[in-house]
């Protein structure tokens, strides 16, 4: 046991695991940021009006429903084989990034939509009657009120999502889980390795979860200072 511990906790192995942590954090961050942007675009498209834009609404709805319904692992392999068909030498990291962006955008779209719908419709109707265009209503009236609902949910989704990034290891993408598996393959004690990996995941997601709670409490009674510029 003592020997196993000594074998695992070498500077080289720790650096290796830390690089895994780095990649996991990077994937989570990319997912969060592109997810929020993509989610907003999808939610905005879904809430569009008029017969002309019906195909846009329809596409956005299909996208969101599709990627929310299938397991992430399936999305991952779908992307992996599609990408490899087109660009056989594409780095696996980009496969993970693409899959994550697809998944996060679809989930965030629902979070953004719920946030935008939390703004009372009469305020929006009032702005419509004043001839304010829809993008301006969204930008100046809806989003400044919706973000307090959106951000905490988005963070708590990211807390869940950190764990999903582990699936990327299945496609051969290097991140924390993959680093753990690689160490086991080098003959290190699996129980010790994965216990360490577990602690690392916990160390990432627990502070993030606390941050989400703090954010929620903090935003509840704050407004976005700004105004008409």
Partner 1 sequence: MGLVGPSGSGKSTLLRALVGLAPPSAGQVVLEGKIVDYAKKDSLRALRDHVAIVFQQYNLFQNMTVLDNIIVTPIKVRGRARAEAEAEARALLSRVGLSGKESAYPDQLSGGQQQRVAIARALALKPALILLDEVTAALDPELVRDVLDVIRDLAGEGITMLLVSHEMGFIREAAHRVVMMDAGRVVEVGPPQQIFDTPTEDRTRAFMSKIIRH
**Among 128, 202, 206, 213, interactor with partner 1 by CB under 8 A:** 128
C-alpha distances out from residue 58 to 63, 64, 109, 227, Å = 9, 10, 14, 34
54 binds partner 1 (CB under 8 A): no
Residue closer to partner 1 by CB (options 85, 129) is 129
Q: How is residue 165 written in tokens?
A: 């990034």
Do residues 111 and 153 touch, judged by C-beta distance below 8 A?
A: yes
131 binds partner 1 (CB under 8 A): yes
What does the DSSP 8-state code read for residue 156? H
89 binds partner 1 (CB under 8 A): no
Q: How is residue 4 written in tokens?
A: 């196993």
Segment lying near partner 1 (by CB under 8 A), choices 134-142, 161-169, 183-191, 212-220: 134-142
Segment lying near partner 1 (by CB under 8 A), choices 63-71, 92-100, 105-113, 122-130: 122-130
218 binds partner 1 (CB under 8 A): no
**How far apart are alpha carbons 63 and 81 in whole angstroms?**
19
53 binds partner 1 (CB under 8 A): no
DSSP-derived 3-state class of residue 141: helix
Q: How is residue 28 written in tokens?
A: 């989570």
144 binds partner 1 (CB under 8 A): yes
**How far apart are alpha carbons 45 and 55 in whole angstroms?**
10
Residue closer to partner 1 by CB (options 10, 118) is 118
Q: How is residue 61 written in tokens?
A: 């709805």
Q: What is the widest separation between alpha-carbon atoms in the chain?
A: 75
**Among 10, 62, 125, 195, interactor with partner 1 by CB under 8 A:** 125
What does the DSSP 8-state code read for residue 140? I
Give the helix/strand (H/E) hosting 159.
helix 143-164
141 binds partner 1 (CB under 8 A): yes
Segment lying near partner 1 (by CB under 8 A), choices 118-126, 150-158, 168-176, 211-219: 118-126
**Among 48, 82, 118, 123, interactor with partner 1 by CB under 8 A:** 123
Instruction: List residues binding partner 1 (CB under 8 A).
Output: 120, 122-123, 125-132, 136, 140-141, 144-145, 223-224, 226-228
């Amino acid at each position: 046991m003592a020997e196993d511990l000594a074998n695992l906790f070498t500077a080289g192995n720790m650096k290796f695991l830390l690089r895994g942590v780095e990649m996991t954090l990077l994937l989570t961050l990319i997912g969060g940021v592109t997810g929020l942007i993509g989610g907003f675009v999808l939610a905005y498209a879904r809430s569009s009006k008029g017969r002309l834009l019906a195909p846009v609404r329809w596409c956005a709805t299909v996208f969101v429903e599709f990627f929310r319904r299938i397991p992430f692992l399936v999305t991952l392999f779908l992307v992996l084989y599609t990408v490899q068909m087109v660009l056989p030498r594409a780095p696996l990291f980009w496969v993970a990034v693409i899959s994550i962006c697809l998944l996060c955008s679809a989930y965030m779209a629902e979070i953004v939509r719920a946030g935008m719908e939390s703004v009372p419709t009469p305020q929006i109707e009032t702005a419509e009657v004043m001839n304010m265009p829809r993008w301006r209503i969204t930008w100046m009236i809806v989003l400044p009120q919706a973000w307090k609902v959106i951000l905490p949910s988005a963070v708590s989704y990211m807390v869940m999502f950190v764990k999903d990034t582990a699936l990327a290891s299945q496609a051969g993408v290097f991140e924390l889980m993959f680093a753990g598996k690689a160490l086991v393959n080098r003959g290190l004690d699996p129980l010790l390795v994965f216990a360490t990996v577990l602690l690392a995941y916990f160390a990432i997601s627990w502070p993030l979860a606390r941050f989400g709670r703090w954010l929620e409490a903090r935003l509840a009674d704050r407004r976005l200072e700004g105004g008409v510029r």
